[in-house]
Amino acid sequence: MRLLNCKSLAFEEFVQDVPRYAILSHTWGNEEVSFEDMRSGAAAASERKGHEKITATCRIAQEQALDYAWIDTCCIDKSSSAELSEAINSMFAWYRDATVCYVWLSDHTQDPAFVLTDEAVLASFEYRESITEQDREFNDPPPLTSKELEMRNHIGRLKKCRWFSRGWTLQELIAPKHVEFYDRDWKCFGSKMQLAHILSWVTGIDSGVLRGDSLDQVLVGRRMSWAANRQTRRVEDMAYCLLGIFDINMPLLYGEGEKAFTRLQEEIIRSSNDLSIFAWTAPLGDKRSFRSLWASSPNEFKSCRFLVKPTLEWNGRGEYSITSRGLRTMDMIRIVRGESSRKGSYFLPLDCVDARFNKDIRFVSLEQYGPSLFARRKPWLYDTVVDIEVSQASRLPSAQYICCRESPDLESMVRMSHVGSVQIDFSFEAFDETSITAQPETDWDLRNSILLSYRRRHFWGCWRIRTVSDDPGACVVCVQSDGWLLYGIFSWHELPPAMEKSDLLPSQVSAILQKLPVRTAARCPPWYHTVELSEHNLGGDSDGVTAIIQETNLAMNEAGAAHGACIDSVFAIHSATALTKYSERGESPAMPKTGGDGNTGSIYAGSPRLIIRQWLYTLYTQVQDRGISNTEHREYHS
């Protein structure tokens, strides 16, 4: 460590047994004295404006019986990238180990007639600031006294100091044990301990931390919020100035821009099990519907100031790690089933709550866009869920990956993952939606009841669902290949044994279905599926869609007629856009009638899907009532 001798103003270097020293915290201005200036001689250095703060620091240090001082402007050889990297990675420790830190506020003049450390006024002001909004609703606080009003005005002036808005000064306030504050005339007006509550009010930092509590007791997201309103000259420094706050060491790569903050978050995840790092929210101006797990800057952690640990850890038995595919999670992602308003939603509980509403668990809402791949959806929302909903939500058992790399293509990747996908509606009251299982599991988006294509030309899926009655249930198998959809319907116990495997290729499933005596195939136009933004739906021409619906219905009726069954409802493939074109003209495409529930309009509104509601249940119950043999049963449900 290179220290400045307070008497001679010469440098001395220490490898170990570093003597007691003072350290300066300030904001840089014009004509700072550099390492080269000091090496050139006292005459050259004294000509620069920054020389005054060096001499003042050394003078005060000597008055406090300290022989050495450290000042960042002149004690680091910035021409050496290796030394600069070592200094930045060691900065927190150097401030922590200093005997005293002098904070010089060059743009603040303290009124000598007003004492910021007046204990009586501070106690009154601290009590008033501790009154929550909820308390104010029931009890109006007494009016401000003249002393309290004056205290508030002085704190407001202090808050405007440039020192409180810089990124580097955050660790310079937290790390040292003893800090003294000086105004522009080098007059001391208080210590960190004396001004702890005022500094907490100005900076958002916990007063306990300012008084010496361990940083490890504060959640990562909350620590990030302390830097939310701070700036640095270089983009990379917004990450580098936080290394000590999170006890991280990493190489400096000036020129990497915002990637530096991404690297910092990755290093925090590798060394911590604190999920509050994902509790950030995007600014309202960010129009992206999908983001990666990483925040773009500390500014997105503004809403995390009051985060604390919950009473129970909801992801205590889960595991996660950083991989090339994203954040690999095991037994952590939840999905809401049953009758909840969040039914079908994927979410990741973050094991943190807002101290003001300590029963609401913070979580990240997720959207599936690839085999076991998820992206964060609606990143601008401050998402919470009550703890009882978390306890009732199911966990996804297999390994899942959440996108961690921000990409301009992420939005389109998520949306395009639905192109050519197959959606099945099991919402008919006869089915138990909580019982649904799908193969391949990684391709099934339970939130939207979609078998995702991920833009593949060939894929397959198999669904099993039970009925609410004592009947065992049904299975649906389909294969999509180059726009053709081949599908079969079976009773729960009559699925061909060859289809029990989860690693089948689409061609193998197709071959199995082709061998069945009765099967149905239909030509599908390409479509673009999205659940919430229907204006993005794309589809084929309206005539083609009508023909597909008619042909599919004809094929089903022919299959049912072989056994004297009456097929009243719809099992069809359709394109939402084409149907929208009809509705715009006030017309309706030629569709088969429903089985008496009158829900044709609601069935066809929205996104492309395979409609399997009443038709499947009617067909299944008719087979049961007729007592058809197993052989006939298998053939019939094909």
Q: Residue 340 pLDDT more than 60?
A: no
User: In Å, how far are 45, 168, 567 from 31, measured between CA atoms?
Assistant: 10, 19, 87
pLDDT digits (tens, 9 = 90+) for 275-304: 999 999 998 888 888 999 999 999 999 999
Give the whole-angstrom CA distance, residue 74 versus residue 37. Answer: 8
Q: How far is CA 610 from CA 464, 496, 549, in A?
A: 15, 21, 11
- pLDDT, mean of residues 21-31: 95
Cα 119 from Cα 166, distance rounded (Å): 29
Mean pLDDT over 513-523 rounds to: 55
Whole-number Å distance between alpha carbons of 273 and 220: 10
DSSP per residue, 591-632: -PPPSSS--HHHHHSSS--EE-SHHHHHHHHHHHHHT--HHH
Higher pLDDT, 618 or 257: 257
Residue type, 406: E
Q: pLDDT class for 314, splitting at 50, 70, 90? A: low
Q: Are 186 and 104 contacting, i.e. CB atoms less than 8 angstroms apart? A: yes
What would the mean pLDDT of 253-257 be, rounded to a whole number? 95
| Cis peptide preceding 506, ω within 30 of 0 | no
Place of tokens 């620590």: 223
**Average of pLDDT values for 240-246?**
98
pTM of model > 0.85 = no
Contact 395, 334 (CB under 8 A): yes
97-127 confidence digits (pLDDT tens): 999 999 999 999 988 877 776 776 667 666 6
**Percent of the chain having pLDDT more than 90?**
39
C-beta of residue 414 within 8 angstroms of C-beta of residue 290: yes
Q: With both helix axes pointing from N to C terminus, report the angle between 196-203 and 146-159 in degrees, rounded to the nearest 10.
A: 60
The answer to whether the CB of 69 falls within 8 A of the CB of 10 is no
pLDDT at 600 over 90: no
Q: Considering only 33-42, 169-178, 186-195, 228-237, which range has the smallest mean pLDDT? A: 33-42
List, in order, residues 6 or more apart from 161 with CB less than 8 Å away: 105, 107, 108
Could you write out the three-class secondary structure of 387-399? HHHHHHCEECCCE
What's the confidence (pLDDT) of residue 370?
83
Q: What is the pLDDT of residue 27?
A: 96
Q: Which two tokens stand for residue 219?
A: 């959640």
Section 177-190 average pLDDT: 96
What's the confidence (pLDDT) of residue 614?
Answer: 35
Q: Comparing 393 with 27, which gets the higher pLDDT?
A: 27
| pLDDT tens by residue, 388-421 | 566 667 788 789 999 998 888 888 888 877 777 7
Angle 424-429-435 from CA coordinates, rounded to 5°: 65
Average pLDDT value for the chain: 75
Q: Quick one: how far is CA 572 from the chain centroid?
A: 38
